[in-house]
């Protein structure tokens, strides 16, 4: 079974890939810093880091997988009342946004205290600034093209779309089947070119909608477990070696063609192929490694906070410090450790102020409202 532990291990890997992507996707990311490239030339590192944006597709896939699993537990045939669906959506939305809003307010406070970025600088002055603040706090700036405290927060718009669109996609899947779900998803992705304003307004949903569909199918059909159990030979040891080599060949081939498809409407197909292949490979060959698995799981538990905080450390607050370690591996490693420590502290503060209790009360109030 693809368990919560496996999910956290994949999240741990995804957050490492995200840091690599954000640190080195182009030379502008470390402008004015003396970064030393020894093992690979700079352009190769940039190319590799750019391809690590697959981390977004991994998080999208895991979200779709988890939501589908939860809805299937609610009813195996995905037949539930409007009230049951509303309660399920409220629970997921409040939990997700509660975690985001807490970090959002915390970084605002820290930025004001340290003088390294503050309210007026990001949202302007006057009555509209309060509106911009509220829109940003609820992760909606991507929809309205309004000011945001940090560009990285765009993902919260997509995350919210995922929560509410999956029940609709499951309904299509239940009524019309696998082929229709995939065909409609690909059709949507092809209607919106990657860099157009409409695509950005929908928080790049067309880029990741096929990945959402694949996550739904993988969860419903238990595909990851079936992929792991599949063997090309009767000899288990030989079969594992062959599968390992096949996975590597597939990952390299998909990575190459995915790189060629950047900026095209067919990118979503390669994002989903790369994602399920990479997660399948991790599930079978990486997650079971004792030390590696434990480290990835630990990172995965704090991945949300690391995602929300690492770019403040890298760009807004301690840019010179981040790149002062000169070597790419050290830069990413130190940023990961610092972000992890801060993420743990954030969780401790959250427990101290009983934030989750507050969110739980709000959640119950919202559920009572839809139950009336």
pLDDT tens for residues 232-242?
888 888 989 99
Element (H, E) at 200: helix 197-201
Q: What is the pLDDT of residues 200-230, one digit of tens each?
A: 777 789 999 999 999 999 999 999 999 999 9
pTM for the complete prediction?
Answer: 0.94
119 pLDDT higher than 70: no
10 Å Cβ neighbour count for 263?
Answer: 9
Q: Which two tokens stand for residue 302?
A: 């704090």
Higher pLDDT, 75 or 12: 12
115 pLDDT higher than 80: no
Q: Which two tokens stand for residue 256?
A: 């190459």
Structure confidence at residue 309 as a pLDDT band (50, 70, 90): very high
* Section 320-329 average pLDDT: 94
Q: What is the pLDDT of residue 254?
A: 93
Under DSSP, is residue 28 helix (H, G, I), strand (E, B) or coil?
helix
54 pLDDT higher than 70: yes
* Section 261-277 average pLDDT: 88
Q: What is the pLDDT of residue 368?
A: 87
* Section 299-308 average pLDDT: 96
- Please state the separation of Cα 35 from the chain's center in Å: 28
167 pLDDT higher than 80: yes
Number of C-alpha atoms within 13 angstroms, CB side, residue 170?
Answer: 28
Higher pLDDT, 137 or 128: 137
Cα dihedral value 120, 122, 125, 130, nearest 10: -100
Structure confidence at residue 310 as a pLDDT band (50, 70, 90): very high
Give me the chain's average pLDDT, please.
91
CB 68 within 8 A of CB 215: yes
* Section 114-131 average pLDDT: 73
Q: Which two tokens stand for residue 324?
A: 């002062």
334 pLDDT higher than 80: yes
3-state helix, strand, coil in the chain (%, to 5): 80, 0, 20
Q: Which two tokens stand for residue 111?
A: 């930025």
């Amino acid at each position: 079974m693809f368990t919560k532990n496996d999910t956290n291990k994949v999240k741990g890997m995804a957050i490492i890939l995200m840091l690599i992507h954000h640190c080195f996707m182009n030379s502008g990311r470390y402008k004015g810093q003396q970064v030393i490239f020894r093992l690979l030339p700079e352009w190769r590192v940039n190319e590799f880091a750019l391809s690590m944006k697959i981390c977004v597709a991994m998080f999208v896939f895991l979200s779709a997988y988890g939501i589908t699993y939860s809805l299937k537990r609610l009813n195996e045939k995905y037949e539930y009342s409007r009230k049951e669906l509303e309660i399920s959506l409220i629970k997921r939305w409040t939990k997700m946004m509660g975690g985001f809003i807490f970090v959002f307010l915390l970084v605002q406070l820290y930025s004001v205290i340290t003088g390294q970025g503050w309210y007026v600088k990001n949202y302007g002055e006057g009555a509209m600034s309060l509106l911009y603040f509220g829109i940003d706090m609820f992760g909606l700036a991507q929809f309205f093209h309004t000011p945001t405290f940090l560009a990285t927060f765009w993902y919260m718009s997509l995350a919210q779309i995922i929560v509410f669109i999956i029940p609709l996609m499951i309904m299509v899947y239940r009524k019309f089947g696998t082929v229709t779900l995939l065909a409609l998803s690909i059709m949507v992705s092809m209607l919106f070119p990657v860099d157009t304003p409409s695509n950005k307004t929908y928080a790049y949903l067309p880029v990741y909608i096929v990945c959402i569909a694949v996550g739904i199918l993988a969860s419903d059909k238990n595909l990851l477990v079936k992929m792991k159990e599949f063997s090309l030979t009767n000899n288990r040891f030989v079969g594992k070696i062959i599968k390992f080599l096949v996975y590597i060949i597939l990952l390299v081939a998909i990575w190459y063609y995915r790189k060629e498809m950047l900026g095209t409407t067919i990118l979503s197909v390669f994002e989903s192929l790369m994602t399920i292949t990479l997660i399948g490979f991790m599930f079978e060959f990486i997650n079971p490694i004792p030390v590696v698995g434990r480290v990835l799981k630990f990172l995965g538990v704090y991945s949300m906070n690391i995602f929300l905080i690492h770019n403040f450390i890298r760009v807004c607050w301690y840019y010179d410090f981040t790149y002062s370690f000169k070597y790419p591996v050290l830069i990413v490693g130190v940023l990961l450790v610092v972000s992890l420590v801060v993420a743990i502290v954030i969780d401790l503060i959250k427990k101290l102020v009983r934030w989750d209790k507050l969110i739980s009360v709000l959640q119950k109030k919202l559920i009572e409202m839809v139950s009336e």
